[in-house]
Amino acid sequence: MTNLVQRLATYDSTEPQYIGALAENFMQMYHGNYMVYGGAETFLSTPLVQQFNVVFHTCYDSKGAGDRMIARCIYSHTTTKRKWEHGLHQLDLRGNASGFYESGRTLPLSLHHWKSWFHADMIALRKVAAICGEPCPLRRWQLPDDWYLINGLFVVKYSVPLQDSIFMEQTWDNNNGSIRG
Which pLDDT score is estimated for 98?
80
Domain residue spans in the chain? Answer: 1-84
Which pLDDT score is estimated for 174?
66
Question: What is the pTM (predicted TM-score) of this model?
Answer: 0.75
Please answer whether residues 101 and 150 qualify as being in contact, where contact means their C-beta atoms are separated by less than 8 angstroms: yes
Alpha helices in the chain (DSSP H): 2-8, 26-32, 46-59, 66-77, 98-102, 122-132
Per-residue confidence in pLDDT tens, the chain, 181 aa: 788 899 999 999 999 999 998 877 677 666 667 778 776 688 999 999 999 899 988 888 656 688 888 888 999 999 999 998 888 887 777 777 788 888 877 778 887 777 777 777 888 888 888 898 888 888 888 899 889 898 888 888 887 777 776 777 777 776 554 444 3
pLDDT digits (tens, 9 = 90+) for 37-65: 776 688 999 999 999 899 988 888 656 68
Which pLDDT score is estimated for 180?
41
β-bridge mates for residue 157, sequence order: 147
